[in-house]
Every structure is written in C-alpha cells, then in structure tokens.
Amino acid sequence: MTGPGDPPEGTPDGAPGGGDDEYRSVVFDERFVRAARLQEFSADERLGEHHAPAVKTRHAWLRPGGSRQAVLLVLLIVLAFGTAVYMGIRHPYKAPEAARAQPLRSSVVPLAPPGTVPGATPDDLFAHSPAAGYRTGAAGINLPPGLQRTAHFSDGQIVDALTIAKDYLVRSSVDPATLTGGAVRPVRLLLDTGQLDQFDRSMAHPDDNGQDAATGWLVRFDPHQLRLADRDVRVNGTMSATELSADTLDVAADYTFVYAVRPAPGAPPDAAGRDTGTPTPGAASLVTVRRELHFRIGRDDLADHRLSVVQSSLQAGPLACSSQPAGTLHPLLAGQHAGSGRPAGTDPYARGRANASLCGELAATSLPTPDHPLH
C-alpha cells in the first residue's frame, strides 16, 4: 500500500527519493521565503503599458541602510558646528580683559634753601649733617624685622615682594650710572610690562603733568652741571607690605637719600639759574632727596621679579623753584643761593596742572653746619 505522499505507481526505480530529488537543490526554505520582499503594482500601474518594469525602482535615499544614516549624521554635525560658531560670534557677553597695570601718578617738589649752600669736603659735610649716622648704599635699605604672613601670602612671599622693591630703590636711587643720567635699562627691567610705554615716554619727553616726569621714576642729575663727589650715597628710611587683595600686595617705601656733589668741569656758571650765584670751585655740597613710593606686586610679579610703581612723591633740595625738575634734578651747588625766582602764581579756578608750580623751602636744620650734632 502506498503512502499519502507517494505516486500511485510507487517510487521509480533508480531514484531513491523519487522524481522530486532533481529539484531538491532549488527548493527555498521557509526563512528565505519570509525574508523575500515583494513589490506589487498599484491599480494605475496594472492598467498602464505592458512594457512597464515589473518591479518599481526605489531611489537610493529611500533605501534603509548605513549610507543614509551616515549622511544624516554628517549633516547634524555640520549644523551643530555652524550654530556654535554663530553663537560664539554673536554672544552678548565678552570675555574679561586682562588687568592692566595702573599708570604712575607722581609729583616732584623742589626745596629752595634759606641762604647760601654750604660747601666742604664730602666727609666734613656728612659728618655735620643729619645724615651722619645713615648707612651707605643698599645697606641702608633694610627689610623690616618680624615679617609675618597675611591671609593669602606667606612670609616668604612677603620677603620676595620687599626684595623686589629694594632692588628698585637701589637701581633708581643709588646706582651711580642712573644718578648721572646714564642707562635706565636696569630700572626698566623691574617694571611691569603695562608701565613700559609710560616709562619710555617719561624718559624721552619728561613733563610735569603728574604722569610723565622722569624724576618720578628715578633720581638723576644733569651730568653737564655736576659730578658725584662721593659714590657712597647715604640712605635711611622704612618699608612695609600690606595685602590689598588675594592676589596683590602694596609695598610702601619712605626713604631719604643724601648725595655729595660738586660742579662738573667746564659747567656754565648759571647752570642752575641766572641769579643764583657762582658755584665755589672744587667744593662739594649735599643734595637731599626724599622719595615716598607705593608699589603694586601681584603673584605673577613675584615670579617675574617685577613691580608697578603707582605713586611717587619726590622732594629735593637745595633747588631753585625755577629749576624745572621733571627731567633731571638741577641742585644748587656750594656757594649758590635760591635767588629771587619764585614759582608762578597758581590759579585755583584754572583747570589743568594744579601742581605745576609747587615749591617748598628747605629747612635750615637739614643743611650741614659746623656745629651740627653727630648722629
């Protein structure tokens, strides 16, 4: 009896599986059939021309796959980048600008002597002056004892700040090359870069406008008028440091410098003024300069060994009131006097240079006298 799947005649001889075995290699399995995609014509397509293609061609954009996703991803990236660039250009808030150093504000006041400037040898002058007990040069600029840390600066950082200020005082007030109108580069190297333009302008075109006086930055004399009679400058004063903010220190310095000078060879007799008298040939005299300065020193300045000079007040004598000390100091020498020159009247109603005509009188006790007590 034959089975339900066998032909009535049975399986042909010589064919183990019957006649179906020759088609067994082309039979599709169930997974293949389910995965097959069928495209059926619409009614309009079926009524159209008979030579239309049996399968409708689909555009590459409509094919699902990695290429379309990659293109969309690229477009999103380009859109995001363009938006970021646009917002960066049109952002309403600007980045904060780097803090710049404050400009120097300075005043230079000549002190006129009450009489004739005394003259003698440097040793005699110093011995009979208030500077008799002063130290010489850098030894007279000492750091204050008992330094303590502040809220944001260690004691070591305080010492570093005071050391920078001391170096500035030595280079700008004691160095003979600076005093005689020589190179100013050693002083310039200690300044914050934000003050270099103002410093260069003051050296090239000094003015008594409160900002551009060369003598606001340093002490220097006219080399055509005088020479240093003693290279040992007498120095005395104080220095202190105060914290202004978490990143800035204020260093205050108040020092008096005393110089022994004599007339330069071939100096004109009226170098300090037309009616001040003739200097005593070969005799030395003393020039006293008091400098009160305020420095700003930040954390970056400590590493760079720089500072900003934000305030400078200089008083110097004996000088004539008409000496115009913005560029160089022109002290009266031994045997000279202040003369009749006095500063021009100051009009308090006029705007502008309110301090251009400042002049003071040098106290008689500050001049060397034979009976001046030793200190």
340/286 Cα distance (integer angstroms): 22
* Averaged pLDDT for residues 16-25: 54
Mean pLDDT in the chain?
Answer: 82
Residues 6+ apart with CB under 8 A from 255: 140, 141, 169, 173, 235, 236, 237, 238, 239, 290, 291
Query: Is residue 88 pLDDT above 90, yes or no?
Result: no
Predicted local confidence at residue 36, as pLDDT? 62
At position 321, the amino acid (one-letter code) is: C
Tokens of 39: 């495209």
* Averaged pLDDT for residues 204-227: 94
Q: What does pTM read for this prediction? A: 0.71
Map residue 144 onto helix, strand or coil: coil
255/232 Cα distance (integer angstroms): 16
Predicted local confidence at residue 96, as pLDDT? 44
Spatial strand order of the sheet with 248-263 comes to: 135-136, 226-245, 248-263, 285-298, 308-317, 105-112, 360-361
Predicted local confidence at residue 375, as pLDDT? 36
3-class SS letters over 164-207: HHHHHHHHHHCCHHHHCCCCCHHHHCCECHHHHHHHHHHHHCCC
Q: Of 43-47, 133-137, 206-210, 261-265, which range is least confident?
A: 43-47
In this predicted model, what pLDDT tens digit does every residue of 352-374 receive, in sequence order?
655 456 888 999 889 887 654 43
Predicted local confidence at residue 156, as pLDDT? 92
The answer to whether 234 touches 141, Cβ cutoff 8 Å, is no
Predicted local confidence at residue 16, as pLDDT? 53
Query: Is residue 22 pLDDT above 70, yes or no?
Result: no
- Exposed/middle/buried for 6, CB within 10 Å: 0-12, 13-18, 19+? exposed
Q: Which helix (H) or strand (E) holds 90?
A: helix 66-90
In this predicted model, what pLDDT tens digit does every residue of 28-63 receive, in sequence order?
566 666 666 666 666 666 665 555 555 555 555 455
Predicted local confidence at residue 106, as pLDDT? 95
Q: Which residues pair with 124 in a beta bridge?
A: none
290/270 Cα distance (integer angstroms): 25
- Residue 258 CB neighbour total at 10 angstroms: 25
In this predicted model, what pLDDT tens digit does every residue of 151-175 receive, in sequence order?
889 999 999 999 999 999 999 999 9
For the chain, what are the domain ranges?
105-344+354-366
Query: Is residue 259 pLDDT above 90, yes or no?
Result: yes
Nearest to 266 by CA among 305, 221, 224: 224
Task: Compute the chain's Rg from CA coordinates.
Answer: 47
**pLDDT over 70 percentage in the chain:** 71
Predicted local confidence at residue 369, as pLDDT? 78
Q: For residue 117, name the pLDDT band (cuts at 50, 70, 90).
A: very high
Q: Which residues pair with 263 in a beta bridge?
A: 226
Predicted local confidence at residue 26, as pLDDT? 57
Q: For residue 23, name the pLDDT band (cuts at 50, 70, 90).
A: low
Tokens of 255: 């020092």
Predicted local confidence at residue 373, as pLDDT? 43
Q: Which helix (H) or strand (E) holds 89?
A: helix 66-90
234/232 Cα distance (integer angstroms): 6
How is the chain split among helix, strand and coil, in percent rounded to 5? 30, 20, 50
The answer to whether 318 touches 331, Cβ cutoff 8 Å, is yes
Q: For residue 271, name the pLDDT band (cuts at 50, 70, 90).
A: very low
Q: Which helix (H) or strand (E) holds 311?
A: strand 308-317
